[in-house]
Amino acid sequence: MTIAILYREELKEYDFGVGHPFRSDRYQLFTKFLASRLKPDGNYKTIKADWATDEELLRICERDYINFTKQYYSSANLGLPVEGDFFQYQSLDNLPVGRPGKVEEAARLVIGQAKLAADLIQSGKYKKAVSIGGGLHHAKRASGEGFCLYNDVAFTTVYLMEHYHLKKILILDTDAHNGNGTCEYFYSDPRVLFIDLHQDPRTIYPGTGFASEIGAGKGIGKTVNIPLPVNAGSESYKLAFEEIVEPLTKEFQPEIIIRNGGSDPHFNDGLTSLGLTVAGFRMIGQKVRELSEICDGKLIDLIASGYHSGVLPYAWMALIAGLADFNISVEEPAPIPVSLRTDAHLQDTQEVIDEVKSYLRDYWRCLQ
């Protein structure tokens, strides 16, 4: 199938500076890798989006936050001093090193890509769209954190509900970190089923996403956190999909699926401690593609994370190959450690799954 890939070269400006973990070389690495492995003809079409306006950002952000963020990062890019309290609006991990790229402009481009992805799907031009650089799931309405300025996962969802009047949206977050920002946006919203598979929050930033966090008010039961044990591998992910993600999705019957997450659950990522292999990423893509058949194949994929340059293009390619059913092989870039060749944490994962079910069974028939 032909999928839409949202990307333009200006994404390279999403760069917090030399020495910061989030650099823009990830985009060039992946796009070169993609071009070397797969010709676009009949497989994908690269489409350029426009930058989001202030009015579009106001769907998900407070105006004073937008104003400060625009002023601060524009000045930082020019090496100029900035007035105002940085830590009122941004966390330490969003503090640039030296002179960053035009980070705020690039963040607007990510939102623009999210909007275009939604339009392409809802217009019927494509069934599946991938936004390179998307998935900035830590950003909140009035603050940024975790390398994220504006939350395109939240924007995509809000835009689909407000502009296209969708009433059932599944957000599936497979990033190694809990999507705390996305979760805050929809914690009480019954229209959104938010399922988040991530590393045990006791061992990783941002320290949220426990099984007991299940939503509130009308949205109770619609937030599903699956905190996987350290070093959990592909079999653990497969088990979580089969016992929680798949039955909940089938019962919920979403009108569209939004998945986000890059390569950071890989065993060799560096900033995380999970055990996914490249084959595991492909398996995730395949399972999400199969689930999308519930909603006529409609799927928006947002992909940016990963902190090992030797792993990132392989894992991203495996995810997309699974999502789009591309008939190409994607190898593991380095030997799998002996300790991870079998998933030694499968029983621990089963205990997590049982705990998750215990919190949710009052709200879902499939878990009773």
265, 262, 225: which is closest to 245 by C-alpha?
A: 225
Q: What is the 3-state secondary structure (H, E, C) of 78-128?
A: HCCCCCCCHHHHECHHHCCCCCCCCHHHHHHHHHHHHHHHHHHHHCCCCCE
Q: How many CB atoms lie within 10 A of CB 160?
A: 27
> pLDDT band at 207, cuts 50/70/90?
very high
321, 307, 243: which is closest to 279 by C-alpha?
A: 321
CA dist., res. 72 & res. 66, Å (int): 10
Between β-strands 299-303 and 256-260, what pairing exists: parallel, antiparallel or unpaired? parallel
The residue-averaged pLDDT of 231-248 equals: 98
| Percentage of residues in the chain having pLDDT higher than 70 | 100
The residue-averaged pLDDT of 137-161 equals: 98
CA dist., res. 133 & res. 24, Å (int): 9
Residues 188 and 219: beta-carbon distance below 8 Å: yes
Residues 238 and 353: beta-carbon distance below 8 Å: no
DSSP 8-class letter at 51: P
The tokens 């936004």 sit on which residue? 131
Residues 146 and 206: beta-carbon distance below 8 Å: yes
Is the pLDDT assigned to residue 209 strictly greater than 80? yes
| b/e map 125-149, b = 16+ CB within 10 Å | ebbbbbbbbbbbbbbbeebbbbbbb
Q: What is the pLDDT of residues 46-74, one digit of tens each?
A: 999 999 999 999 999 999 999 999 999 99
SS3 292: helix
CA dist., res. 354 & res. 303, Å (int): 29
The per-residue pLDDT for 1 is 79
No. of H helices and E strands in the chain?
Answer: 12, 8
The per-residue pLDDT for 226 is 98
The residue-averaged pLDDT of 122-129 equals: 98
Q: How many CB atoms lie within 10 A of CB 283?
A: 20
Average pLDDT, the chain: 97
Is the pLDDT assigned to residue 240 strictly greater than 90? yes
Residues 243 and 349: beta-carbon distance below 8 Å: no
Q: What is the pLDDT of residues 303-360, one digit of tens each?
A: 999 999 999 999 999 999 999 999 999 999 999 999 888 999 999 999 999 999 999 9
Q: What is the pLDDT of residues 259-294, one digit of tens each?
A: 999 999 999 999 999 999 999 999 999 999 999 999
Is domain 3-367 in CATH 3.40.800.20, yes or no? yes
Between β-strands 44-47 and 128-132, what pairing exists: parallel, antiparallel or unpaired? unpaired
The per-residue pLDDT for 346 is 96
CA dist., res. 83 & res. 34, Å (int): 42
Q: How far apart are the first and last CA of the chain?
A: 37
Q: Which amino acid is at 13?
A: E
